[in-house]
Amino acid sequence: MKRWASVIAVVAAALLLGGPAESLAKTEIHLWHAMGGQLGETVNELVKQFNQGQAEYEVKALNKGTYPEVLTGAIAAYRQKNPPHIVQVFDVGTQTMLLSGAIYPIFQLLKEQEIAVNWGDFIKPVTGYYSKDGNLFSMPFNSSSPILYYNKDAFKKAGLSPDKPPATWKEVGEASKKILAAGAAKCGFTTSWPSWTMLENTFPWHDQPFSTNQNGYTGLDTKLLINGEFGVKHIGQLAAWQKEGVYSYGGRMGQPDPKFINGDCAMLIQSSAVIGGFKRSLKFQWGTGQLPHWGAPYRKQNAVVGGATLWVMKGQKPADYKGVARFMKFIAEPHQQMWWHVTTGYLPITQTAIKNLEAGYHFKKNPEQATALGQLSARPTPNSLGHRLGNFVQIREAIESEMENIFAGKKTAKEGLDAAVAKGNEILKEFAAANKP
| Residues forming the site for another protein (CB under 8 A) | 68-69, 71-72, 75, 96, 249-252, 255-259, 262, 264, 391, 393-394, 397, 400-402, 404-405, 407-408, 410, 427, 430, 434
Minimal distance in Å, beta carbon 404 to another protein? Answer: 4
Minimal distance in Å, beta carbon 241 to another protein? Answer: 14
Which CB, 193 or 205, lies closer to another protein?
193
Minimal distance in Å, beta carbon 308 to another protein? Answer: 16
Minimal distance in Å, beta carbon 281 to another protein? Answer: 13
Which CB, 170 or 186, lies closer to another protein?
186
Which CB, 207 or 402, lies closer to another protein?
402
Minimal distance in Å, beta carbon 238 to another protein? Answer: 13
Which CB, 73 or 209, lies closer to another protein?
73
Minimal distance in Å, beta carbon 169 to another protein? Answer: 21
Angle at 385 between CA 239 and CA 226, to 5 degrees: 30
Do the Cβ atoms of 193 and 199 come closer than 8 Å? no
Which CB, 92 or 357, lies closer to another protein?
92
Minimal distance in Å, beta carbon 33 to another protein? Answer: 18
Do the Cβ atoms of 403 and 419 come closer than 8 Å? no
Which CB, 122 or 249, lies closer to another protein?
249
Which CB, 258 or 374, lies closer to another protein?
258
Which CB, 128 or 306, lies closer to another protein?
306
Minimal distance in Å, beta carbon 408 to another protein? Answer: 4
Which CB, 184 or 427, lies closer to another protein?
427
Strands 86-90 and 27-33: what pairing?
parallel
Minimal distance in Å, beta carbon 284 to another protein? Answer: 16
Question: Rounded to whole angstroms, how far apart are CA atoms 172 and 368?
Answer: 19
